[in-house]
Chains A and B, each alone.
Chain A
Amino acid sequence: MTETKIALVGNPNVGKSTVFNKLTGLRQKAGNYPGITVEKKTGSFTYQHTKYQLIDLPGAYGIHPSSLDEEIVYEVLVDKNNPNHPELVVVVGDPFNLKRSALLYQQIREIGLPAIFVVNMIDEAERAGISIDVDRLEKVLSTKVVLTDARSGKGIDSLKAALQYKPNGYTPAFSIPDEYAAVTQQVKEQLAPANDYIAWLYLSQKRSKHLDATASSEISAIRQENQINYHRLQIHETMARHSTLDRQLANVLKDPAKKRENLTARLDDLLIHPVWGYVVFFALLMLIFQAIYTWSGPFMDAIDNAFAWLAASAGERLPDGPLNGLLTDGIIAGIGGIVIFIPQIAILFVFISLMEESGYMSRVVYLMDRWLRPFGLSGKSAVPLMSGAACAIPAVMSARTIENDKERLITILVTPFMTCSARLPIYIIIIGLVIPQERFWGLDLQGLVLFGMYVLGILAALGSAWVLKQLMKTDYKSFLILEMPTYKYPVVRNVLLNVWDKTMGFILGAGKIILAISVILWVLGSFGVDDRFTNAEDIVRTERPELSDEALENEVQSQQLEYSFLGTMGRFIEPAITPLGYDWKMGIGLISSFAAREVFVSTMATVYSLGGTDDELTIRERMASEINPNTGRPAYNFASGISLLLFYAFAMQCMSTIAIVRRETNSWKWTLIQLTFMTGFAYLAALMAYQLLK
């Protein structure tokens, strides 16, 4: 059986991913392009004895990229050695923007790639009274044209059949302008690209990543020598193509009725109204928030119980010893720590996909741009920031759609300040301990403080974004040119596939690191060289003969933790955390919760010899009676409690976020700057709070 590689290319909002999902069904997977983090979707299907490997390239308006996503399209299509370089391109367009899609199509043909053309959303066009002269369009584009309505599946079979079509006899629609002919020729001679148009692209692109350093510097030299501004070349080409296409496509669209659907206009009257638009948006945010907390609750409990049961039964069946501990407390607990986030991530992405699919997301960008711009962010940062209130990991991933490098980087760097759900268990316990259960102006004081913590997160995110904006420089001008498509009823299949992709991406990407860290932490917490570690049971038995068996076991565990490597580390950092009001036991909690914030609670349970309890009430009672050996006062008093709250609000206590930031920025430098900045800021804030309040 032969195998053919196909690339799906098209403008945003033409229903390209619906076409992709219809063609491949469930035989698809998400991955990353090598070296960068733009998501890659591939899939396969078989039709009449030919196996097709399909790649869904990011949406682009033309071959000249203005974002990381779009750069992929250029690289994959121009570089013959790219592993994803296709044998056939399927360009997807929509009837309302035929000219734009045809422009991209012509660029692809002129690169030298065979391509066929799909006009999708044909039903919507018919409803609007538009008809398309397919014969004429086929003549203009010199290829096969297929009309589809991917939502209903209409035309998908004709599209599959059309993949056998061998386009030929294409005449370039764009000829290199005379004034640039000589310099294009020079590029052609020096770099030997396949044709004149690729030479022109080398000259007119900001960069061509697939070229080596020598070739790139040759291009810069040629540009400098001839005083060529690549941006102007792009504009020249785009305008020339548009005016040619205006003539070519003049009679392709028949648009007699001029019936326009006005549902979108009526919805927009409400959804992007200067007042009501914001009311609806914030109401929706509240709904998402509530959903992430409440709907995920039962699932998270079930997962928690399942893993506790798994660990317990595995623990019983295996012989005692380090292997047992590694499996139950290291590996099973580690995997549990990954799986527990799935409900929240899935729910968040259900909402995000619904907003994207329906066309509402672009309205959010429109509404929020004005308010985020002063902080060096764009309207498109609204999505990562609000998702950060659930979990920073999917939030950081969702920053990919931001074109401007600087805005994207700032968004990624500040998103972890938003109060994610993992901070909640700590906040609830500490607030319960140190904030009195009183009413303040008729409002519950503890609830108010919790709300305050959320506000603090937003302020920290926006404030540090503003600081970063002042410090960072960029060659790119920030801009917002955003298409707001007509509203569409979401395709359930697309939503589900997207949720599945994102969830798997989290499990496979960040999950590995979470697992590794929990194993490392287990090793640190389970081994030690001190005599009080190795002979813990004998020592406790002699020192405290009065203890019952269970109390003895808990006491032994507690002492072993104290003298394990982790405990040694906790005592080692004690001088650094004493000014913040913490003792070495809390130090252990800080270190172990570096993996993930919520680990703090379970670690404190072990430290306070409560065995493996996760019950918040038990832990809270025990914590309330704990005395800090350095000060002789309760360990969790008002000052140290506030200090702890502030520390967890600002510190980057999440290995998974660090991992995902590293992946998304592709830079250790920015990842480390973020880690240092957040943890340093957290330390100072906690220090000031404790010193002022104690």
Chain B
Amino acid sequence: MSQHQSINQLRKGETATIVGYLADEIPIKIYEMGLLPGVVLTLKRQAPFNGPVCIHIRDNPNAIALRRSEAALILIETLS
């Protein structure tokens, strides 16, 4: 398997599948929110100056905001 990207490497409008996590010690809320392996998400917006990112899980109207530091923990494979 090649080196994985994290949500941080996604560009605006790109869609990807979650494949895993960078570390074990990540907030339980990430799991509870449904950011789980296999989930397809799209990066919708980025707050300026390295602010939080705003992602959409497929088929869910609500968005989820993550800080870059959390986004870096979630590993993805881009779908193209």
Interface residues of A (CB under 8 A from B): 13, 61-62, 64, 66, 96-97, 99-100, 103, 128, 229, 231-232, 234-235, 238-239, 242, 255, 258, 260-261, 264, 268, 272, 274-275, 362, 365-367, 369-370, 373, 379, 477, 479-486
B27 to chain A, nearest CB (A): 5
A484 pairs with B47, CB closer than 8 A: no
A369 pairs with B28, CB closer than 8 A: no
Contacts of B25 in A (CB 8 A): 231, 477
B47 pairs with A366, CB closer than 8 A: yes
B36 within 8 A of A: yes
A268 pairs with B45, CB closer than 8 A: yes
Contacts of B22 in A (CB 8 A): none
Q: How far is the CA of A237 from the CA of B46 in the complex (A)?
A: 32
A370 pairs with B27, CB closer than 8 A: no
A365 pairs with B65, CB closer than 8 A: yes
Q: How far is the CA of A420 from the CA of B32 in the complex (A)?
A: 38
Contacts of A258 in B (CB 8 A): 59
Contacts of A96 in B (CB 8 A): 59-62
Quick one: given A272-B45, A367-B47, A484-B65, are A66 and B34 in contact (CB under 8 Å)? Answer: no
Contacts of A239 in B (CB 8 A): 31, 36
Contacts of A13 in B (CB 8 A): 62
Residue of B nearest to A253 (CB): B59
Instruction: Please pick, from A62, A232, A481, the residue contacting B70 in the complex, using a CB distance under 8 A.
Output: A481
Contacts of A61 in B (CB 8 A): 29, 32-33
A479 pairs with B62, CB closer than 8 A: no
Contacts of B10 in A (CB 8 A): none
Instruction: Please pick, from B28, B46, B47, B59, the residue contacting A62 in the complex, using a CB distance under 8 A.
Output: B28
B34 pairs with A100, CB closer than 8 A: yes
Q: How far is the CA of A485 from the CA of B33 in the complex (A)?
A: 13
Q: Choose among A103, A272, A481 the residue with the greatest number of B CB atoms under 10 Å from its CB.
A: A481
Q: Given contacts A100-B32, A100-B34, could you give 11 more A-B pairs where the C-beta distance is less than 8 Å?
A: A61-B29, A258-B59, A369-B51, A369-B65, A370-B47, A370-B48, A480-B66, A480-B67, A481-B65, A481-B66, A484-B62
Q: How far is the CA of A33 from the CA of B64 in the complex (A)?
A: 30
Q: How far is the CA of A232 from the CA of B28 in the complex (A)?
A: 9
Quick one: given A96-B61, A234-B28, are A370 and B51 in contact (CB under 8 Å)? Answer: yes
Instruction: Please pick, from B24, B30, B61, the residue contacting A481 in the complex, using a CB distance under 8 A.
Output: B30
A482 pairs with B27, CB closer than 8 A: no
B63 to chain A, nearest CB (A): 4
Q: How far is the CA of A440 from the CA of B5 in the complex (A)?
A: 55
A304 to chain B, nearest CB (A): 44
Between A and B, 20 residue pairs with Cβ closer than 8 Å are A13-B62, A66-B27, A66-B28, A97-B60, A100-B34, A238-B32, A242-B34, A255-B59, A258-B59, A268-B54, A272-B45, A275-B48, A362-B65, A367-B51, A370-B50, A370-B51, A477-B25, A481-B33, A482-B65, A484-B54
Q: How far is the CA of A143 from the CA of B28 in the complex (A)?
A: 27
B62 pairs with A482, CB closer than 8 A: no
Q: How many residues of B contact A (CB 8 A)?
A: 33
Contacts of A274 in B (CB 8 A): 46-48
A479 pairs with B29, CB closer than 8 A: yes
A98 to chain B, nearest CB (A): 10
B52 pairs with A480, CB closer than 8 A: yes
Q: How far is the CA of A128 from the CA of B26 in the complex (A)?
A: 33
A261 pairs with B28, CB closer than 8 A: no
Contacts of A370 in B (CB 8 A): 47-52
- CB-CB nearest 10 A-B residue pairs: A370-B51, A61-B32, A238-B31, A274-B48, A484-B63, A482-B65, A480-B67, A366-B65, A481-B29, A62-B32
A100 pairs with B33, CB closer than 8 A: yes
A97 pairs with B24, CB closer than 8 A: no
B69 within 8 A of A: yes
B62 pairs with A97, CB closer than 8 A: yes
Contacts of B24 in A (CB 8 A): 229, 231-232, 235
Q: How far is the CA of A112 from the CA of B50 in the complex (A)?
A: 45
Instruction: Please pick, from A235, A379, A480, A482, the residue contacting B31 in the complex, using a CB distance under 8 A.
Output: A235
Instruction: Please pick, from A128, A477, A483, the residue contacting B62 in the complex, using a CB distance under 8 A.
Output: A483
Contacts of B49 in A (CB 8 A): 370
B79 to chain A, nearest CB (A): 18
B31 pairs with A479, CB closer than 8 A: no
Instruction: Please pick, from A62, A103, A238, A369, the residue contacting B67 in the complex, using a CB distance under 8 A.
Output: A369
Q: How far is the CA of A128 from the CA of B66 in the complex (A)?
A: 26
Contacts of A64 in B (CB 8 A): 28, 32
B28 pairs with A272, CB closer than 8 A: no
A480 pairs with B65, CB closer than 8 A: yes
Contacts of B60 in A (CB 8 A): 96-97
A163 to chain B, nearest CB (A): 27
Contacts of B67 in A (CB 8 A): 369, 373, 479-480
A366 pairs with B54, CB closer than 8 A: yes
Contacts of A235 in B (CB 8 A): 24, 26, 28, 31
A272 pairs with B61, CB closer than 8 A: no
Residue of A nearest to B37 (CB): A239
A479 pairs with B70, CB closer than 8 A: yes
Contacts of A264 in B (CB 8 A): 61
B20 to chain A, nearest CB (A): 11
Contacts of A100 in B (CB 8 A): 32-34
Q: How far is the CA of A370 from the CA of B52 in the complex (A)?
A: 7
Q: Choose among B25, B36, B65, B66 the residue with the greatest number of A CB atoms under 10 Å from its CB.
A: B65
Instruction: Please pick, from A238, A242, A483, the residue contacting B64 in the complex, using a CB distance under 8 A.
Output: A483
Q: Choose among B30, B54, B61, B62 the residue with the greatest number of A CB atoms under 10 Å from its CB.
A: B61
Contacts of A366 in B (CB 8 A): 47, 51-52, 54, 65
Contacts of A261 in B (CB 8 A): 61
Contacts of B29 in A (CB 8 A): 61, 66, 479, 481
Q: How far is the CA of A97 from the CA of B28 in the complex (A)?
A: 17
A383 to chain B, nearest CB (A): 15
Contacts of B64 in A (CB 8 A): 481-484
Residue of B nearest to A60 (CB): B32
Q: How far is the CA of A264 from the CA of B60 in the complex (A)?
A: 12
Contacts of A272 in B (CB 8 A): 45, 47, 54
Contacts of B36 in A (CB 8 A): 239, 242
Contacts of A128 in B (CB 8 A): 61
Q: How far is the CA of A268 from the CA of B64 in the complex (A)?
A: 13
Residue of A nearest to B46 (CB): A274
B4 to chain A, nearest CB (A): 18
A441 to chain B, nearest CB (A): 30
Q: How far is the CA of A255 from the CA of B59 in the complex (A)?
A: 9
A480 pairs with B70, CB closer than 8 A: yes
Contacts of B48 in A (CB 8 A): 274-275, 370
